[in-house]
Chains A and B, each alone.
Chain A
Amino acid sequence: MVVGLAILTPIFTADLRHAETPAKEAIASLVLDAPLPASTKLDLAAQLGSRLVADRGRVPDLPPAFKSLRVPARQAPAAAALERGLEDQLKRAATGAFRTAFLVAAGLAPLALGPALALSDRSRS
């Protein structure tokens, strides 16, 4: 298990770091294409930027950025849809970062049987 963690930790850390840029680009893409006025998008971008700085090193918590955003009632559904879209993109980026580590862990699982079998043979003899 210790060997597994020693192998998986650097893989996961590197993947998490590589996931940051695609996640930021996906968020920028959704904000730019959202059917909201440019002034609202700029306000939202400033709020999201603050969240990213505040939550550095963690998956950012988006609802506070949207709570402090003042949008007219007719824009509220578009803002809510954008929030859901951004949450989905963050989830995708974070899950994607686990992919290689997950596959390596799957490969390590059968290998762990080697020592287990050897130990069971020794105890039988």
Chain B
Amino acid sequence: MRRLALPLIAVLLVATVLGVQVAAGGGHYLPRRPANPCTPRPVPPIPPQLEPLADQIVLLGLDSAACRLGISRERLVLALVDTRTLDPRAPAALKAGLGDAVDRLDREGRLPKVSQLLPEALGQANLPRIAKTILEAIPDGLVDNVLPTRPLLRRTIDELDVDRLLHELNNPRQLNPAIQSAILQAALRQILDRLRP
């Protein structure tokens, strides 16, 4: 009996330690798992400003691109850091994903009007003062009629050089000029399309 006491005490002590750990949630104490990118995430309210809008389009676009590639959004983002080992389908998936994001926000009526974004865009644009004054003088109704938000954003995405953007991710200061240039090109093309008979 005395011979068995020591092993029994040892087993009891080990079971107690394990029991306390499991009862304290040790079995589930793991890092957060990535969500399924194919399940639509709720979208918070978007203020009519360029950066929050771009942020939402990129977040939803990443989800859609990851869903197309069959990986998690987080795995895609981590893969974007090293373009040498990136899935060759990723740039096309990203472009398509961004387009999906714009379509979803448009369906849900969350895209702000271009006239709401114009003052901020003009503030950031590298345009002559006279051009800014003329553009500011255009009535909001006319701006929104000539430049509806969804087609403008879709065209901007088409203009984006995703490969170049991915190479410039390490230098965020270079991203803004590239995106602004794409928006400007898209706006010009859309205006020209409207002027054509």
A contact residues vs B (CB 8 Å cutoff): 19, 22-26, 28-30, 32, 35, 37-39, 42-43, 46, 49, 89, 92-93, 95-96, 99, 102-103, 106, 109-110, 113, 116-117
Contacts and interface: CB of A to CB of B under 8 A. Distances in A.
Contact of B34 (A25, A43, A99): A25
A35 B75 CA distance: 20
Contacts of A95: 26, 29
B79 to A, nearest CB: 10
Contacts of B137: none
A119 B52 CA distance: 72
A3 to B, nearest CB: 17
A29 B34 contact: yes
B14 A117 contact: no
B101 interface: no
Contacts of B75: 25
A24 B54 contact: no
Contact of A28 (B18, B54, B74): B74
Given A37-B52, A106-B18, 7 more contacts: A19-B31, A25-B31, A26-B33, A28-B74, A89-B32, A92-B29, A113-B7
A25 B10 contact: no
B59 A32 contact: yes
Given A25-B72, A39-B51, A39-B172, A106 B14 contact: yes
Nearest to B57: A38
